[in-house]
Amino acid sequence: MQLIYAIVQDKDVARLSERLVKTGIRATKLASTGGFLRSGNTTFMIGVDDERVDEVLDLIKQSCRSREQLVTPLSPLGNQVESYVSYPVSVQVGGATVFVVKVDRFEQF
């Protein structure tokens, strides 16, 4: 058995949830926040048998896409705030960050 952690941008959550339900794959969703952009994410915890890992990874790839987004950097801390001018910069967001971890033991009560 494997445990898949998929950190997904909120814009892709509904699409991935729908695909997981259609294929009978159970998942637990946790609200999370990204550290760099401080934007909303959802972390999926998906426990699957070894032979279904590639299927789940394909569903994640099909559901989550990266996109360009303009963001304004946060102002620096300290005395230099008055001279700080922030310009929007384009960054790539979205897609999914995925970790696959082997499960040594699983119990359900």
- The model's pTM: 0.75
Give tens-digit pLDDT for 38-82.
Answer: 667 899 999 999 999 999 999 999 999 877 766 666 655 555 555
Task: Please tell me the predicted confidence (pLDDT) of residue 11.
Answer: 85
Instruction: Name the residue ranges covered by the structural domains of the chain.
Output: 2-73+86-102
Task: Please tell me the predicted confidence (pLDDT) of residue 16.
Answer: 96
Residue keyed to tokens 């794959």: 25
Please give the span between the terminal C-alpha atoms of the chain, in angstroms, as a whole number. Answer: 17
Instruction: Report the candidate in 42, 26, 22, 24 with the shortest Cα–Cα distance to residue 34.
Output: 42
- Does the pLDDT at position 35 exceed 70? no
Give tens-digit pLDDT for 9-31.
Answer: 888 999 999 999 999 999 999 99
Q: Which fold has domain 2-73+86-102?
A: Alpha-Beta Plaits (3.30.70)
Q: Could you tell me which residue, 89 or 52, shows the higher pLDDT?
A: 52
Task: Please tell me the predicted confidence (pLDDT) of residue 71.
Answer: 66
